[in-house]
Structure 1
Amino acid sequence: MTTYTPPKVWTWDAESGGRFANINRPIAGPTHDKDLQVGEHPLQLYSLATPNGVKVTVMLEELLAAGHDAEYDAWLINIQEGDQFGSGFVGVNPNSKIPALMDHGTGSRVFESGAILLYLAEKFGAFLPEDGVARTEALNWLFWLQGSAPYLGGGFGHFYAYAPEKFEYPINRFAMETKRQLDVLDRQLADNEYISGDTYTIADMAIAPWYGTLMQGTIYDEAATFLDAQSYKNVARWTDLVTERPAYKRGKMVNRAWGEESGQLRERHDTSDFETRTWDKIKPVKENSADE
């Protein structure tokens, strides 16, 4: 077994980042000038259909389904191609992470997925209880997700699925933590229909794209089997309940840069796009393809 001894002062090796070496760097700021596209609606979303991106598109589709005037334009930010380092995007999110939202109706920029969910819930008065106790409980779980998901994605997911080499210690460390988190959810859902009680809220929208997707076995290779995910019966029941919602299904389709062409939207500018502008109907420009 090779033992790594950290140097006295760390220096960046651009070749040591594995699968994501081309987009990770130890500094902030833009790498190139590129203005963001702006559509006709006040709400302009710049995102990619990762779990963090799906949170927000699900929320927007749920708002529309509930009758709110929440029409939006969704523009693809392809993180594999470095779109997040364009000057326009950095102007909306100085942290260069998706998703980012511009509300041109108020002049507000909103970054961090949890902040976007909270912003939209408060803007439209939806999916966040008004009652103090229920509201606090929903926010408890929203912020639980924001703190927990990095252990699932950046911890377990990275070392189990993406790291250039497999190492037992970090995989065991983050597998243990991910299973502990699943147990937290399973115990909470034993007595609650939804995460924070009997009402579907932004907490469910935040957690389902991460832990629900893990339960369904669609992220991190064979992670669901490795973690024995289906043994968490209450999480499995809740996953089916949330992910079968029509608005959730639509939200998962938006800002897709990979996967099956049928039923995937690279951009979204109108509700009719789900019927007329999926990848199988309008092929993306070749040089912008994420699969090259």
Structure 2
Amino acid sequence: MIELHYWPTPNGHKITLFLEEAAVPYTIKPVNIGRGEQFQPAFLAISPNNRMPAIVDTAPAGGGDPLSVFESGAILQYLAEKTGRFMPADLRGKYTVLEWLYWQVGGLGPMLGQNHHFNRYAPEKIPYAIDRYVNETRRLYGVLDKRLKGRAFLAGKDYTIADMAAYPWIVPYENQGMALEDFPHLKAWFEAIRERPATKRAYALGDEIKGKFDLSTDEEARKILFGQGAKS
């Protein structure tokens, strides 16, 4: 059984996409990041960077004590290796997937996250910062669009963890100042993933969580989400 410590954000959605596709038994343990639950000692014991998602595998391969994994890219790689799903076994195929997985966690996610912050959450609108991250978002969309020309998915013909990592960050494209019509190959890829039954189930779970908790970004939540320093 996989215990998923989760909140309905792009990084959280990555993991439910995998678990729903692979039909892995799991339970969700919500981590309300706007109310500081990521700083609770029990969560920090499995995710010392005070970020979700994180998982605990209660039955890891080879037996032994439960195994915890934090960081969304590491979780996707762990789950792919555990199940033998959504990552090729051959050397070249595997590293193609890992290249695009690491591209997402090292570039696409952080840059689009800054886009979200300066466009939607920053208390002061800073034109330079907004232009910087919107332009970088557009560049990264262009990289995806070129990669997907003549390919169904990022690694080729098969859906993999690289696609699961990237897709949730494209979902809020309008809030990022992007139009998918400008990126036709990316648009076709996006729409194909959106229509997968497992994708619909994963996002329905997110909507269910949203309906049970307060997701408002009030002043208290802003301090928690954006005011963290070394002592946090």
TM-score (norm 2): 0.86
Q: Counterparts in 2 of 1:30-179, with a 5 A limit?
A: 42-64=1-23, 70-106=24-60, 107-148=66-107, 149-153=109-113, 155-179=114-138
Q: Counterparts in 2 of 1:234-245, with a 5 A limit?
A: 234-245=185-196
CA distance in 1, matches of 2:180, 2:120: 16
SS of 2:29 mapped into structure 1:
strand
CA distance in 2, matches of 1:290, 1:117: 26
Residue 209 of structure 2 is aligned to residue 266 of structure 1: yes
Question: Are the equivalent residues in 2 in contact too, given 1:51–1:210 (CA < 8 A)?
Answer: yes
SS of 1:45 mapped into structure 2:
strand
Cα displacement (A) at 1:162: 1.2
CA distance in 2, matches of 1:127, 1:191: 20
Equivalent position amino acid for 1:192 in 2 = R
Cα displacement (A) at 1:290: 3.6
Question: Are the equivalent residues in 2 in contact too, given 1:214–1:229 (CA < 8 A)?
Answer: no
SS of 1:158 mapped into structure 2:
helix
Equivalent position amino acid for 1:82 in 2 = G
Question: Are the equivalent residues in 1 in contact too, given 2:38–2:52 (CA < 8 A)?
Answer: yes
Cα offsets for 1:223-280 (capped at 9, x unmatched): 3xx33342111111100001110001111122x3xxxxxxx3239xxxxxxxxxxx5x
Cα offsets for 1:162-199 (capped at 9, x unmatched): 11111111111111111110000000001211011111
CA distance in 1, matches of 2:204, 2:13: 8
Aligned CA distance change for structure 1 residues 176 and 90 (closer, same or farther; 3 Å): same
From 191, 202, 205, the counterpart of 1:251: 202
TM-score (norm 1): 0.69
Equivalent position amino acid for 1:44 in 2 = E
CA distance in 1, matches of 2:178, 2:208: 31
Equivalent position amino acid for 1:265 in 2 = E
1:232 corresponding residue in structure 2: 183
Structure 2: gaps spanning 5 or more residues: 61-65, 219-232
SS of 2:49 mapped into structure 1:
coil
CA-atom RMSD in angstroms: 1.6
Cα offsets for 1:77-99 (capped at 9, x unmatched): 11001110111100110011010
Equivalent position amino acid for 1:206 in 2 = A
Equivalent position amino acid for 1:101 in 2 = I
CA distance in 2, matches of 1:214, 1:79: 19
> How many residue pairs align between the two structures?
211
1:18 corresponding residue in structure 2: none
CA distance in 2, matches of 1:238, 1:113: 21
Question: Are the equivalent residues in 2 in contact too, given 1:81–1:290 (CA < 8 A)?
Answer: no
Aligned CA distance change for structure 1 residues 290 and 175 (closer, same or farther; 3 Å): closer
Bigger RCO (CA 8 Å, 6+ sep) = 2
Question: Are the equivalent residues in 1 in contact too, given 2:20–2:199 (CA < 8 A)?
Answer: yes
Equivalent position amino acid for 2:202 in 1 = G
SS of 2:85 mapped into structure 1:
coil
Question: Are the equivalent residues in 1 in contact too, given 2:13–2:203 (CA < 8 A)?
Answer: yes
SS of 1:177 mapped into structure 2:
helix
Structure label with greater radius of gyration: 1
Cα offsets for 1:201-222 (capped at 9, x unmatched): 00011000002x034x3xx3xx
SS of 2:5 mapped into structure 1:
strand
Using the aligned pairs only, state the percent identity: 38
Equivalent position amino acid for 2:198 in 1 = A
Q: Counterparts in 2 of 1:163-242, with a 5 A limit?
A: 163-211=122-170, 213-215=171-173, 217=174, 220=175, 223=176, 226-242=177-193
